[in-house]
Structure 1
Amino acid sequence: MKRKSVSVAMAAYNGQQYIQQQMESILKQLHMDDELLISLDFSTDNTEYIVQKMAEKDDRIQIVHGPSLGVLKNFENAINLAKNEILFLSDQDDVWLDGKVERILKEFEDEQVQVVMHDAAVTDENLHIQISSIFKERNVKLGVKENILKNGYRGCCMAFRQSLKDDILPFPKTIPMHDQWIGLVGELTGKNVLVPEVYLLYRRHSKNETDLKHAGILQMLRWRKDIYTEIEKFKKKKGFKSS
């Protein structure tokens, strides 16, 4: 069976400290017909210089201007422009572990599979492991209701089919984060898979765009209401039975 082509959709912004290491960990797993597509929001550091210099040496790197409207819109831009069969999402400051791409692609041999998410280890800024398994720490599981009440989907660990873009884009304006939306839509339209192996060092540092900590109770309730409302709209649009 011919290997499916891969696009890695990365959102970047002021990421000079770690982005080269992340790009190197990705590129060594990509084939020549794959791409690393970086949506680069206007940055005030050397991020653009770093990625441009790397792109000069590697045709698989594609750089596009981001909308500079926040992380969701930046990822939306990257996903929209990604061209290959399977899309992997990537933050700018993590490290992919060897074997990630090939292991995840195996799951897409099942044509019903829409989204695949693997486990990750949480590290400090120097890649010293603080939590050995996000799956265990967060009790990650599949299920639409489960992931509305307590989202376990994490974009940096996800891959999905090109065909899913028709259902997930544009991102609804009120969703908390893109990864939860992608995961839930994947469950409603096909089958999602959790891969228990760790294939990412999830680096946490002072400038992360996202946080592992819980928001306040009122904010969490608003987010749950918002994502539930958007999912119900999606189900109605697709003719699915409402909960």
Structure 2
Amino acid sequence: MKVSVAMATYNGEKYIKQQIDSILSQLNSDDELIISDDHSSDGTLSIIEEYRKKDSRVKLIMNEESGVTSNFENAIKHTQNEIIFLSDQDDVWKPEKVEIIKAYFERNSKIQMIMSDITVVDNNLNTTIESFYQFRGSRLGVLKNIIKNSYIGCAMSFRKELKTKILPIPRNVPMHDMWIGLVADLNKSALLIPEKLIYYRRHDSTVTSVENTSSLKEKILWRYQISSLLLKSYIKNR
């Protein structure tokens, strides 16, 4: 079961080495780390180039658009292998992450998307929230996750077959991970597992958040938009 990791980067020079190291140490020789960069202006690209020159598993693609959603979409589009993991640039994967996820996929042939629990940490990897699941009330359910999203991309992995259902990622959904989780959930092919497999680092430059800070108007609009898009997706993929 070959693995592709789809990582999105942007000005991540401070933490990216630690994250890449934690990923590559778990990959086999025929796996790959696909990195899409959103036009970084710091030393991120230089760091990635160092890895790319010495490790053929590392591949760099520039994002033709800009923004988190398009950056992840770009990385996902270029993946080749059977199981695709999503990755932020500043977290740290626990050493057992890949093997545990692969084992779940092997035991659950009808499951297309798996999400693990995570431990939220600060800059120095000190725990701030022991369980994201507990913090966000994570559970399956399309309506539940439209009302209060509990899907988080850095903890997601999915089979390549799901790519045709999630791509292209609509630009008017709140985030890529909410879309991916809901599409899998709608198709009854999502699984949440209890293992905490990532140290999810929150710091001043973090792009995403464990809390939703959107206005009420934005939340209502997004819920309407994503409900309409999910209905279209369901009809298309029936």
TM-score range, shorter chain: over 0.9
1:234 corresponds to which residue? 233
Alignment equivalent of 1:70, drawn from 67, 70, 73:
67
Q: Distance in 2 between matches of 1:54 and 1:171?
A: 29
Query: Equivalent residue for 1:80?
Result: 77
The match for 1:153 among 151, 154, 162 is 151
2:90 to 88, 93, 96: 93
Using the TM superposition, name which of 8-17 and 217-226 deviates more.
Answer: 217-226
Q: Residues 1-243 of structure 1: matches in 2 within 5 Å? A: 4-109=1-106, 110-214=108-212, 215-239=214-238
1-structure distance, mates of 2:237, 2:23: 35
Q: Name the CA distance, whole Å, in 2 between partners of 1:27 and 1:238.
A: 34
Q: Which secondary structure state, in structure 2, belongs to the residue aligned with residue 92 of structure 1?
A: coil
One-letter identity of the residue aligned with 2:227: Y
How many residue pairs were aligned? 236
Q: Which deviates more from structure 2 when the two are superposed, residues 31-40 or residues 206-215?
A: 206-215
In structure 2, distance between residues paired with 1:157 and 1:232: 25
Per-residue CA deviation, residues 163-190 of structure 1 (Å, 9 max, x unaligned), is 1111110111211111111111112234
Between the aligned partners of 2:200 and 2:171, the Cα distance in structure 1 is 27
For the aligned residue pairs, the C-alpha RMSD in angstroms reads: 1.1
TM-score for both structures, normalised by structure 2: 0.96
Q: Structure 2, unaligned stretches of length 5 or more?
A: none
- Structure 1 residue 58: Cα displacement: 1.1
- Identity %, equivalent residues: 47
- Aligned partners of 2:188 and 2:230: how far apart in 1? 15
More divergent stretch after superposition (62-71 vs 162-171): 62-71
**CA-to-partner distance for each residue in 1:194-213, whole Å, 9 max, x for gaps?**
11111101000111111222
